[in-house]
Amino acid sequence: MTNATNAPDLPAIWHDPYSRGWSVIPLERRGKKPRCRWEQYQSQRAPLETIARWAVDDGNVGIVTGAVSGIVVLDLDSDDAIAEARRRGLPSSTILLKTARGEHWYFRHPGGTIRNGTKIFPSADVRGDGGYVVAAGSIHETGVC
């Protein structure tokens, strides 16, 4: 049986988000589609034993956003979207991760329900309750990490 003290045995792509308290799910190899029914992980994190089984496969990692992980992610898919977010005064002094096409800006979930939103401005989406993002270190379909 795996326990929290064995969590460092997980590959970093799984361990890093798990150790932050985020709910993680398995995604297809070089893709964004979940490899499991993930609805339950919107309200509870998977047990470490389950994550260890998922980590054996060569797939990407998803981070479930919303209250379960305590995060909301602004998904900016272009340089123009990043510039627009800055122009609007959105704070970038947060966890900021490069993606294949832009950046993910991670914010603390403020409580209540935060809906997912697409195209809040060009090339910008919000992932909140009931959403997920692809974790850093995952391989994009183009082969970019």
65-120: pLDDT as tens digits: 999 999 999 999 999 999 999 999 988 789 999 988 899 999 999 999 999 999 99
pTM equals 0.91
Same domain, 48 and 90: no
Provide the CATH number for the domain around residue 57: 3.30.720
What backbone torsions phi and psi does residue 96 show, to the nearest 5 degrees?
-130, 120
Stretch 35-53: mean pLDDT, rounded? 96
Same domain, 8 and 58: yes
Distance CA 110, CA 51 (A): 27
Q: Which of 47, 64, 81 is the last residue of a domain?
A: 64
For the chain, report the end-to-end CA distance as a whole number of angstroms: 32
Same domain, 86 and 113: yes
Distance CA 128, CA 111 (A): 11
| 132: amino acid identity, one letter | Y
Element (H, E) at 125: strand 124-127
